[in-house]
Structure 1
């Protein structure tokens, strides 16, 4: 496998070289603060300089204010899979975001908001100047090909920045030119549908500019499959429900137009064959992402490159802020897998024990079991991080990339769109979702297997409900679920159902009446090994060479259900408030959605 190299280059070029352009702006959310400044004539004079400028655009995705922690591990929670950091709300930061009690003054809003707009500005500069370069049309074939690619990458990056802004804040100020060309920098809100339509059109253009995987070196740069997958994702959100300033959750009457776009883009990706599922679900995480290696099948279609080196501006806390703790004390272990989510998996579904990690780990790699209500997520776990190994590290930054789009998501988006457009599942929709299911159960991906395949004969609603659940099992802990539930207008329903299920678990009501109060794990093991059943009462006698942990207890109520999404209010909590600091500098903006 090819070691990851592009990630460190991004941060080196963006921070050390600093080939960025300073453009005057009165809006602090559009300001860029480069290490040094160069004129556009210099930056956009040759391919090498443009590459360095583009790495600065990529860099706006990472770090503490990006997908290094806040966009990946603060904003997507609470949902029916996981909870944010445990505890009651009232800290005016991450707990209030997770518990849906966030206020405009929350300390965790302004930084990500500003960094996303800094990314927009950097992308705008590239999008404006690259096509105007002489060599864009008259250079060598190599120069033209590379400049077209970078133009397409910039269009795609801008789309991702705006998408993240929209799905968290709804209608937002939109600007598609560098700030130096704008006569009014105190913009009001632009309707999100207008922004979405612009981005969807941009991505159609970008798909003609960016090469497919296999035509270029494998690294973290955007390729055509990622462009098309992002376009499909944006189309589903454009066609889905969202909270509107006019009141309540709404979707447009023309939503099928966008489902068609999503279906067609996914179909192109599937038929191209440049991406496929890794035969092993665990290997995607343990052998690729956590091993700092490029996934060899192209399943990870776009991952946010993190530089490593303990950088709050360009690294990630994946594996430190979440996942098992070292000796029960080092690392936050802050994200909690909900017991109801853990028990929603089929007992033979291999994705459960990848997604959920019911343990801490000693410095010798020995498993230290945790109980059910404190189980952490497991896709990013320090005992899987290698190349280099960080098991005993006291650092907070491990250089682990954030997977933004996987091929499994493409298959599931195709199945969803196909079902919606055709009024029920087609054979192609069944095959797409069943490929994901087969891999999840360790089966041959392309071979029908009725032990795990969805039964034929489902109607549209039944297939959709199966799809809703399958996306949760497949994509759990990847920052997707809350936003999926919002676009389906199911977030409130799932929160209510989850809270009721947690309380039923403690009361030992069906389907949880036989769960054990105590679980036994193999002692002195470097992997979690259950010695007793997860689904039956514990035996009267402890197994030999075991270590026990209290499993299902009242803590599921007092620690989880009493605070889970406690402040959620439909028609408000689906979006975040604009940060106070933004309103202070822009008189043309105001709060909406009841904030």
Structure 2
């Protein structure tokens, strides 16, 4: 059967052989070099438009962080809670993740151990494939809950016929894979480790994230001790740490690295490497960070301009979480400026200007002189932050996406310790403070003394802190669902938007902001429907009752 229908190129990190567009499984994996090519192919699938490149970003919208801001159509249906089983983005993402899973299955089945003199090298490759398989299954169950579990490669159409597995069995498969990865992948300090790829501490970190999800809705099994255990491994190892910036804004520097293609393996445990994959020519790898969810640039959209569609708008619920005068993360995540068609870099000034009040975490540009924001002008100078070997493109970017950062490890530990001990422990407070101090904030025990002594108040603070720190990083929807807070936060959005001093019932843009909160139905929107094509082809998968 055909192994890869994706085109692989001469990326020096993966291969030195002449690439082929199609490889047959019976003639592949005969050498370590060919195994590296196949592994690169799995990364390429995950990084494509239908995966992390675009559709994951679209599926994650619609929480209290950001929304689809085009009132004249209803694209991004999941974010508007107007999706159906025929929704394109969810079908694309479902297919993409299962495609990567099938390639990982085939890799595990086919790689030849006799080709390796060192069994550790063989196990490391198997572990990397299983890490990627676990990541895809975790993504799928986050959105769909119970899903078909396919742990063997598909040989023909009959292999597609799988019912939705028991949710506990899905999580068992995920934790088994990540555990194997944590035991057999290389340490990020290992001389053989390639930045941007999976490593053992990333596996421990994602195990913590999986166990935290398992502890909440819908499974509701208490795995907080496992969360602490795996966070402890990462923290006590000492390799990972927060980027402090030597007196500058370390938070900003973390994202400048992701935007500029610099691997910061100390803070970022795992990232999707659009920079490396695109610049090396891997076909079909389409990063959209900074374009679909970036700052409006205001040009003729010509090649070479750091432009974007700016299709994501920031809810005032998110901007309201920050101490806007002191929190360095607010200044980076939501700077509220844009460049007009004449080149004037100007302040937006209104949180309900839906086409301009956009996320900026993955910005492709910034003013050369921030004073220009307050001074009218034309063709004001700016700096391009993106560092791509190819000419800048309006549609695609080379901005890398952080799947897991060290600050999340600290916050996950704090949340789990609070649950285990019936209130925040000294380490939970310390780890929260580490994240706060980097943002320029005071000790939580000084600023909010009651929070530091009360389980519920500490949890509430973490709910807000995770959004302040991790907004637009693909975790908020799943956080709110596991906490059973998504409906509450959508109600909060409606109240805050309608109570905003700039809100007008006659303004169609303002009404469009409320589409998601008004459409949400808790009886069906805590998980996605199975794609229509999937239930049509898979003879053993029935559509969920609430979506029939």
Common fold: TM-score over 0.5? yes
- Stretches of structure 2 that go unaligned for 5 or more consecutive residues are 1-7, 245-249, 302-307, 367-383
Please list, as runs of the form range in 1=range in 2, the aligned pairs for 1:146-161 lying within 5 A after superposition: 146-161=121-136
1:452, distance to aligned residue in structure 2 (A): 5.5
**Cα distance, 1:457–1:500 mapped onto 2, change above 3 Å:** same
Distance 1:421 1:593, change over 3 A: farther
| Paired residue secondary structure (1:360) | strand
Q: What is the CA distance between 1:119 and its match in structure 2?
A: 0.3
CA distance in 2, matches of 1:265, 1:237: 14
**Counterpart check, 1:378 vs 2:357:** no
CA contact (8 A) 1:7 1:220 kept: no
The whole-number CA distance in structure 2 between the counterparts of 1:172 and 1:321 is 29
Residue 563 of structure 1, CA deviation: 2.1
1:270 correspondence with 2:249: no
CA deviation after TM superposition for structure 1 residue 395, in Å: 3.3
- Offset at residue 270 of structure 1 (A): 0.3
SS at match of 2:543: coil
Matches within 5 A, 1:442-481: 457-481=452-476
TM-superposition CA deviations, 1:343-384 (whole Å, max 9, x none) = 220131111111113122369975233332231001111205
* More deviation, 302-311/478-487: 302-311
Deviation per residue, 1:120-168 (Å, 9 max, x gap):
00111122233x5224xxx433xx3322211111111000111111111
Q: What SS does structure 2 have at the residue aligned with 1:588?
A: coil
Q: What is the CA-CA distance between 1:329 and the residue it aligns to?
A: 6.4
TM-score by length of 2: 0.84
Matched, 1:435 2:434: yes
* Residues 195-225 of structure 1: CA deviation (Å, up to 9, x unaligned): 1012112211211101211113451011111
RMSD, aligned CA: 3.0
Task: Map Cα deviations across residues 258-281 of structure 1 (whole Å, 9 max, x no partner).
Answer: 221111000110000110000111
- Give matches, 1:523-562, under 5 Å: 558-559=510-511, 561-562=513-514
Confirm or deny: 8 A CA contact 2:364 2:386 kept in the other structure.
no
After superposition, the C-alpha distances for 1:94-115 in whole angstroms (9 at most, x for unaligned) are 1x22110101122223222111
For the residue of structure 2 that corresponds to 1:441, the secondary structure is: coil
Which structure has greater helix proportion? 2
Structure 1 partner of 2:155: 180
Aligned with 1:108: secondary structure? helix
Shift in Å, 1:192: 2.1
Counterpart for residue 345 of structure 1? 322
The Cα of 1:317 is off from its aligned counterpart by 1.4
Task: Map Cα deviations across residues 48-71 of structure 1 (whole Å, 9 max, x no partner).
Answer: 111111111111211210111111
Does the aligned pair in 1 maintain the 2:388–2:398 contact within 8 Å? no
Q: Residues 405 and 568 from structure 1, CA distance in 2 versus in 1: closer, same or farther, beyond 3 angstroms?
A: same
Q: Which residue of 2 aligns with 1:308?
A: 278
Distance 2:16 2:82 in 1: 36
CA distance 1:282–1:583, shift in 2 (3 Å): same
**Equivalent residues of 1:60, 1:118 under 8 A apart:** yes
Q: Does 1:241 align with 2:217?
A: yes
Judge conservation of contact 2:451–2:461 (CA < 8 Å) in 1.
no
Give the secondary-structure state (helix, strand or coil) at the position aligned to 2:169.
helix
2:253 maps to 283
1:195 to 1:11, Cα distance in 2 relative to 1, 3 A = farther
CA distance in 2, matches of 1:88, 1:270: 47
Aligned-residue offset at 1:334: 0.7
User: CA 1:454–1:64 in structure 2 vs 1: closer, same or farther (change >3 Å)?
Assistant: farther
Tell me, yes or no, if the aligned pair for 1:438 and 1:452 is still in contact at 8 Å.
Answer: no
Number of residue equivalences: 502
Structure 1 counterpart SS, 2:206:
helix
Partner of 1:205: 180
CA contact (8 A) 1:86 1:334 kept: yes
| Residues 364 and 158 of structure 1, relative CA distance in 2, 3 Å threshold | farther
| 1:245 paired residue number | none
| Change beyond 3 A, Cα 1:268–1:377 | same
1:93-172 matched pairs, under 5 angstroms? 93-94=75-76, 96-130=77-111, 133-135=113-115, 139-141=116-118, 144-172=119-147
Distance 1:234 1:88, change over 3 A: farther
Secondary structure of 1:405's aligned partner:
strand
Alignment of 1:272-421 (within 5 A): 272-279=237-244, 280-286=250-256, 288-295=257-264, 298-306=266-274, 307-308=277-278, 313-327=284-298, 330=301, 331-347=308-324, 348-361=326-339, 367-370=345-348, 371-373=350-352, 374=354, 375-383=357-365, 386=385, 388=387, 393-421=392-420
Instruction: Tell me what 1:229 maps to.
Output: 205
**C-alpha separation between the residues in 1 aligned to 2:461 and 2:46?**
33
Aligned twin of 1:47: 32
Closer/same/farther in 2, CA of residues 163 and 593 from structure 1, 3 Å limit: farther
Q: Is the 8 A contact 1:10 1:56 kept in 2?
A: no
Counterpart contact for 1:219–1:294, Cα < 8 Å = yes
Instruction: After superposing the two structures, state which structure 1 stretch, 379-388 or 59-68, moved more.
Output: 379-388
Structure 1: which 5+ residue stretches go unaligned? 1-5, 19-34, 243-250, 507-516, 518-551
CA offset at residue 553 of structure 1? 6.7
1:392 and 1:55 map into 2 onto residues whose CA distance is 24
Inter-partner Cα distance in structure 2 for 1:341 and 1:270: 28
Q: Which residue does the alignment assign to 1:591?
A: 543
Per-residue deviation at 1:284?
0.7
Per-residue CA deviations over 1:30-87 (Å, capped at 9, x if unaligned) read xxxxx312234x422221111111111111211210111111x210110111112332
Report the Cα offset of residue 180 of structure 1. 3.1
1:572 and 1:593 in contact (8 A); partners too: no
The 1:494/1:355 distance shift into structure 2, 3 A limit, reads: same
Question: Higher mean Cα deviation, 483-492 or 495-504?
Answer: 495-504
- Report the Cα distance in structure 2 between the residues aligned to 1:462 and 1:556, rounded to whole angstroms: 37
1:483/1:97 CA distance change after superposition, 3 Å: same
Output the CA distance in 1 between the equivalents of 2:474 and 2:239: 25
Deviation at 1:453, TM superposition (A): 7.5
- Structure 1's 219 and 556: CA in aligned 2 closer, same or farther, altered over 3 A? farther
